[in-house]
Structure 1
Amino acid sequence: MQTRLGPRPLPLHLGTALMTWASSESAWSLLKQGSPTSKPASEVPESLAALLPEIAALEAKAGPGQFEQALQREIRRRQIRLADGVLAYQRNDFQRDLEDPPAVWREGNTRLLDYGATHRAARKRGTRAVLVVPSLINRWEVLDLTAEKSLLRAMAAQGLRPYLVDWGTPEGEERGFDTTAYVARLERALGYVARRARRAPAVLGYCMGGTLAVALAARRPRRVAGLALMAAPWDFHADRTGQAFLLSTGPLLAEVADRVGELPVDILQTLFWSLDPWLSVKKFGRFVGLDPKGESAKEFVLLEDWLNGGAPLAGPTARECLVGWYGENTPGRGQWVVGGKRIVPSKIKLPSLVMIPSGDRIVPPLSAAALADPKKGLKKVTRIDLPLGHIGMVVSGRARDLCWTPLIGWLAALPSRRARVVAV
């Protein structure tokens, strides 16, 4: 079994917990009356000062030094629980065991996986083909995590023919790709699917893949039957809550990407960490209490493997995203240029679906909602708000009913149209 490195970057997650817990002891030594390092009562924040009489009363009842000892025991308990949770994950035997469908098209390290190849319902004449575009950062496996939690297999079982873009890992000339190069590759993949299906396929984009899918639809509208977007960021300044770290470090990280040729996985994971620094501590603490052979543990391990197994981001694309998207909000302002064309959603007249998870902490709902704005968003748009999270809309227990079913129904109901199949 391959050694697991997660949660990545592990030193950052462990350091966050240890420094915070250590600061609790330091804070107590500053607050404790009579301590050599204690502060005068006038300098103690009101919120903490209000607790001191209660703590003093409890300690008087229990005995001198009891609160400090209890604090140390609790810190130790949390340290052990976090370490046990991480080790239990790293040593777990579960591995994703689904067989990938056949690859029917390749270019560089990118390939198209035909999820309809083994489903009779998806092989019928006139079946709606769907080009599925995941993010460049996190790999596609979250869309096909297990046999029961696979959006792609559910689509095929319902008579759609999904063709998934597996971006692979950027190597060679791909390390010099900007978003124009990636969208150009999508255009060629779309052309292949259109020729194979003899009809214009729909395009489904998830997360950053949705942002790229908007550019694809804007550049090749005659080849696209409809555009479906799941948690696709667009207006990067609509809600910057929780993104201070990313915004402040964006230019510096862009410089790193320029010099290294890519933005490494651990730096990307640090950006996700900044959205909720305590998430790993909480979830690995809960993992300790699960049956290591149970279904819940299996899903946790597979999802964590996916989260920790992303790909680096090509240098020029990293700069474009960090400085252009997050810093200057070029998509939201209608200034994002792909292959010489400004990408303006309001000029896209294709049938469109925008799905917005209200609990999304990775893509703020207001950012994704910009694509459904009556004035600046897509013209023929259906908006669906979901009481789910960014990942939960794909793999949670409620994903099938709340997200998959309306998405598949919308794709299946799109009118058929012949595609222009001339070469790109």
Structure 2
Amino acid sequence: MLTSFNLWRQWSDRALDATFDFWKRSIALNQLVWRERPAVAQTPADVVYTENKLRLLRYRATTDRQYPTPLLLVPSIINRYYILDLKPGRSLVEYLRDKGFDVWMIDWGTPGDEDRFVTFDYHIDGYLVNCVQEVLEATGQPQLSILGYCIGGVLTTVFTALYDQYVRNLINLAAPTNFHDDGLLSLWTRKENFPVDLLIDTYGNMPAWLLQTSFKWLRPTGDLGNAWTLWERLDQPERLDDFLTLNRWVEDNVSVPGETYRKFVRDCYQDNLLVQNRLQIGGRRVDLSAIRCPLLNVTASRDHIVPPQSAAVLNDLVSSEDKTLLQLRGGHIGVVAGSQASNVLWPQLADWLAQRSR
């Protein structure tokens, strides 16, 4: 009887603990309704240049800048720039700044209906060229290092192939080169599956809500997993804040100018011109073998947006003698801004860049 009583008491205690935990988490969940959105992009910066919706940011140094070669960060055009500057301690910008680099970044802003005719070519021959010139004039340096994330890496790759005289080092983070890979996104955007002209002619721009929905379809159970993660972290304030901050970025898509999206999908995803050295920008052919500067190319093993083989092929196409393929475990976002990024990617990136920035 004593053994049975003890067993009953153990189960009773567990039930009480579970009930208490449930109500505690439920109260915390209700309180989230009144919680302010997490603060993002907190690293102090000066707006050095603006054009249309674009802002060029220069981050204020907290220590003496050790490396004369400036570093320009180019985020994707379909998400907000602050994935590279989420919050103190989870900011690639902050990390590199504190290592002594002169860090700059492009904020593409939020395109409106009036931007539907801004072209993919102008992102390179206009926006990027103008920003690079601003950086070089402000620093007095003849060249810069340029880092592109996701679609930003496509832009920086093309820019470097066309304007290699300005680029000392090229760093790509999860940036596609071969768009005919085994990924679901590549399959969905094939000509027979995706009428991009009809879409853009109808909407003008590629709407943010449609982009958001399409990326969620890549992993239909993602929201369910996020809900469980939220529930698990309700009693862990620091981890909860990390989750909410990253989730703010995930849900913060922006619309893409229609003509930019049309060409990007048609020439890259559908015709796969970049990897074939057949992409045309402003009437000039983009030849990836024209890239001769040092290259650091980072891939993520569980990347469901840019499969690692799609990004890794760039190393076989450039003429650079100094080229590094850094293959890391993780997903498209986690490798760059996840909880382990500051221990894995960021130190290796900073060490690689430091050796090539003096």
Equivalent residue for 2:38?
A: 95
- After superposition, the Cα gap between the structure-2 partners of 1:383 and 1:89, relative to the gap in structure 1 and judged at 3 Å, is farther
**Aligned partners of 1:322 and 1:351: how far apart in 2?**
28
3-state DSSP of counterpart to 2:302:
coil
Given that 1:128 and 1:159 are in contact with CA atoms closer than 8 Å, whether structure 2 keeps it comes out as no
Given that 2:69 and 2:357 are in contact with CA atoms closer than 8 Å, whether structure 1 keeps it comes out as no
Q: Residue 286 in 1 paired to residue 229 in 2? A: yes
- After superposition, the Cα gap between the structure-2 partners of 1:161 and 1:102, relative to the gap in structure 1 and judged at 3 Å, is same
Give the alignment's Cα RMSD to 1 decimal: 2.4
After TM superposition, give the deviation of residue 237 of structure 1 in Å. Answer: 0.6
Alignment of 1:189-338 (within 5 A): 189-199=131-141, 200-241=143-184, 243-247=186-190, 251-291=194-234, 294-338=237-281
3-state DSSP of counterpart to 1:128:
coil
**Aligned partners of 1:249 and 1:84: how far apart in 2?**
49
Q: Residue 385 in 1 paired to residue 352 in 2? A: no
Alignment of 1:6-405 (within 5 A): 92-96=35-39, 98=42, 100-115=44-59, 117-122=60-65, 127-171=68-112, 174-184=115-125, 185-199=127-141, 200-241=143-184, 243-247=186-190, 251-291=194-234, 294-373=237-316, 376-380=317-321, 381-405=323-347
- After superposition, the Cα gap between the structure-2 partners of 1:266 and 1:172, relative to the gap in structure 1 and judged at 3 Å, is closer
**Aligned partners of 1:220 and 1:405: how far apart in 2?**
28
**Aligned partners of 2:269 and 2:190: how far apart in 1?**
7
TM-score by length of 2: 0.85
- After superposition, the Cα gap between the structure-2 partners of 1:152 and 1:332, relative to the gap in structure 1 and judged at 3 Å, is same
Aligned AA (1:395)? A
**Aligned partners of 1:331 and 1:378: how far apart in 2?**
15
Q: Give a deviation string over 1:104-150, Cα, whole Å, max 9, x none.
A: 111111111111x242233x6x5321111000001111111110010
3-state DSSP of counterpart to 2:180:
coil
After TM superposition, give the deviation of residue 402 of structure 1 in Å. Answer: 1.6
Equivalent residue for 2:17?
A: none
**Aligned partners of 1:86 and 1:255: how far apart in 2?**
42
**Aligned partners of 2:269 and 2:30: how far apart in 1?**
35
- After superposition, the Cα gap between the structure-2 partners of 1:367 and 1:90, relative to the gap in structure 1 and judged at 3 Å, is farther
Once the two structures are overlaid, the 10-residue window that deviates more, 194-203 or 131-140, is 194-203
**Aligned partners of 2:213 and 2:90: how far apart in 1?**
27
From 411, 417, 421, the equivalent of 2:353 is 411
Provide structure 2 residue ranges, at least 5 long, that are not aligned to the other structure: 1-25
After TM superposition, give the deviation of residue 158 of structure 1 in Å. Answer: 0.4
After TM superposition, give the deviation of residue 286 of structure 1 in Å. Answer: 2.6
- After superposition, the Cα gap between the structure-2 partners of 1:305 and 1:88, relative to the gap in structure 1 and judged at 3 Å, is farther
Aligned AA (1:193)? V
| Aligned sequence identity (%) | 28
- After superposition, the Cα gap between the structure-2 partners of 1:196 and 1:386, relative to the gap in structure 1 and judged at 3 Å, is same
Provide structure 1 residue ranges, at least 5 long, that are not aligned to the other structure: 1-82, 417-424
**Aligned partners of 2:30 and 2:161: how far apart in 1?**
47
Q: How many pairs align?
A: 329
TM-score by length of 1: 0.72
- After superposition, the Cα gap between the structure-2 partners of 1:379 and 1:127, relative to the gap in structure 1 and judged at 3 Å, is closer
